[in-house]
Structure 1
Amino acid sequence: MAATITSLLVLLAVAALADAKLQCQSKPADIPTDWITMQKTCTNAMREQIQMEIKASMEYLSMGAYFSRDTVNRPGFAKMFFEASSEERQHGMKLIEYLLMRGELTSEISSLIRVPIPKRLEWENGVTALKAALNLEAEVTKSIRNLIKICEDSEEFNDYHLVDYLAGDFLDEQYKGQRDLAGKSSTLDKMMANNALLGEFLFDKKLLKGELI
């Protein structure tokens, strides 16, 4: 029995050695790094912003799931929040793609994305959810503005390209989204004041049909 076990161990060791020899070990790439100009503080702030976008995506996903419940059944709200979740996820992906373009994701990738737990899982009504969404967007906007300040005010390197990209693509969309949520919240608040839950029901149908601007 002992001889059998010894033989088996020898065979396993030989197989492992053969497998190691067969594995392809490529030479580490020797690429110049002069083209990589982002500063560490700016890169770290970008990583934090990616986390913020993922956090917002999860919050919207939670909202969409809540309004999809059969006991709530507000498909218009669910559709709006699921779309918002997808948009925030796309924002995170765009920031990752930007870091890749600038040569800033060659290491420490495993810690880049951490999935947070949503703060809330239920909302009293549509108005409460819209106001929570508006506060969330304001938080994201503040984070982007802080990111811009960090990357713009660096004494070593003012990252004009990144600042222009964030201000043009991200902030513009943020401000428009905030105005849209504020308008929707105001409209629904008035409808519910006059018609209670019937107002929310009608508002939801408008959302589902895309008739609210």
Structure 2
Amino acid sequence: MNFIYGFLLVFGVAYVAPGVQSTCHIPDAKIDTPWVDMVRSCTDELKDQVKMEIGASMTYLAMGAYFARDSVSRPGFSKLFMHAADEEREHAIKLIEYMLMRGDVTQDFQNLLPAPLTAPKMNWFNGAQALKDALAKEVEVTTNIRKVISNCETPPNAAKNDYHLVDYLTADFLDEQYRGQRDLAGKYTTLQKMVSSYGPIGEFLFDKKLLNGEL
């Protein structure tokens, strides 16, 4: 009998009469926030970096899709750029998770997305041009990370230094950026040499090496 009463109680709570709209809103808890200590200017710059990482991901996604076209058919290049798109998206997620850890992230998630959310380019003349554009994009991202580091280490208006964020960006992001730039520069040089030696077939051979993980 107790089971029946319990079932009826649960059913009564869960049941909503037809035509009645049910809404459930959990209000934010009111807690003390002295632990939220990121400087506003530093937070804003970090949010801009999130937008840049998402924008870079869109650029690489466009590259990957272009080289996957049946009329282009460069699966190695497509694989390279699709992987790069995943990495940039992961970087954006890591930065968002960091801000959440520090208790300082925008209430409106839409503000963390670049507007409009589009790729600036959809076609490339050849693989060398795409690698050159990718290297330029990485340099742009690296330069902005260094700017965030500089401004968070010595914030304006004599605000306190954010050594934790500076260390996080320097150790986790800059090292990967520099390695990525060197990798792209090396791939670009190798491709140029192969095209110079073998002509148009050089890009085909380079693509096969990319696909097989030999570069």
* TM-score interval, smaller chain: 0.7 to 0.9
Query: Please, what is the CA RMSD of the aligned residues?
Result: 1.8
How far the C-alpha of 1:132 sits from its partner, in A, is 0.5
> Runs of 4 or more off by more than 4 Å in structure 1?
22-28
Using structure 1 for the length normalisation, give the TM-score: 0.87
Alpha-carbon distance in 2 for matches of 1:106, 1:61? 26
Alpha-carbon distance in 1 for matches of 2:70, 2:27? 57
Alignment match, 1:8: none
Structure 1 residue 82 and structure 2 residue 82: aligned? yes
Alignment match, 2:210: 207
Note the alpha carbon deviations across 1:90-142, whole angstroms, 9 max, x for none: 00000000000000126232312235221111111111110110000000000
Alignment match, 1:149: 150
Aligned runs of 1:1-213 on 2, under 5 Å? 26=26, 28-105=28-105, 107-114=107-114, 116-154=117-155, 155-212=158-215
The one-letter code sitting in structure 2 at the alignment partner of 1:123 is W
Alpha-carbon distance in 2 for matches of 1:162, 1:42? 9
- Structure 1 unaligned spans of 5+: 1-14
The one-letter code sitting in structure 2 at the alignment partner of 1:107 is Q
Report the 3-state secondary structure (helix = DSSP H, G, I; strand = E; otherwise coil) of the residue aligned with 1:111. helix
Alpha-carbon distance in 1 for matches of 2:26, 2:132? 54
- Structure 2 unaligned spans of 5+: 1-17
Note closer, same or farther for the CA distance 1:43–1:73 as it changes in structure 2 (3 Å cut).
same
The one-letter code sitting in structure 1 at the alignment partner of 2:39 is Q
Report the 3-state secondary structure (helix = DSSP H, G, I; strand = E; otherwise coil) of the residue aligned with 2:35. coil
Alpha-carbon distance in 1 for matches of 2:213, 2:97? 31
